[in-house]
Amino acid sequence: MYLCLFLFVCRVLLQSPGALADCGPCDLKSCAPLSCAVPELLVKDACGCCKECLGVEGSQCGGKKEEQARCSPGLVCMSHSEEGSGLCLCKEEGMVCGSDGQSYPSVCALHLQSWISLHSAKSRIHKVHDGECKLESFFVNYPHMIHKVSSETT
């Protein structure tokens, strides 16, 4: 009995995603036109045919609508509704400082910018430390411009 159940579960898990999504033959003409918030975050749908946008922080996700599907890597779909729709939120909270000297509201925002940077042939951005980037203060000393200032009266 348990062996049959185990084999059934294994069979379902090993099936291709398309088999689980009840896919027909792939017809690229039937794919919906896309307008993604971040065009670099395109993936194939569950059938492996059409492309779909991944949600960024704050995007709608889950539910039954095709445009509210999956979140980008590092994000989770937080839902409190019965239909399962929610918002893509970062797993990690808090500001971070990137190697580009910019502060990001979350490590997910940094990863998104790094992804975009790589796809536009620029360098990868990584987290330098938690918290905002702080500018180091420095003093420029021009000896010929120094004047003695005193509050004494003579």
Per-residue pLDDT of 78-104, as tens digits, reads 987 777 789 999 988 899 999 999 999
Name the residue type at position 32: A
* pLDDT score at 131: 95
C-alpha–C-alpha distance, residues 135 and 107, integer Å: 20
Q: What is the rounded average pLDDT of the residues 51-59?
A: 88
* pLDDT score at 141: 59
* pLDDT score at 40: 79
Tell me the percentage of the chain whose pLDDT exceeds 90.
25
**7-47 pLDDT tens trace:** 333 333 334 444 445 788 999 998 988 888 888 788 888 88
CB neighbours of 33 closer than 8 A, spacing ≥ 6? Answer: none
C-alpha–C-alpha distance, residues 151 and 71, integer Å: 64
C-alpha–C-alpha distance, residues 125 and 117, integer Å: 8
Of the listed ranges 8-12, 46-50, 140-144, the one predicted with least confidence: 8-12
CB 123 within 8 A of CB 114: no
For residues 10 and 60, which has the higher predicted lDDT (pLDDT)?
Answer: 60
* Domains located in the chain, CATH noted: 39-91 (4.10.40.20), 96-130 (no CATH)
For residues 80 and 62, which has the higher predicted lDDT (pLDDT)?
Answer: 62
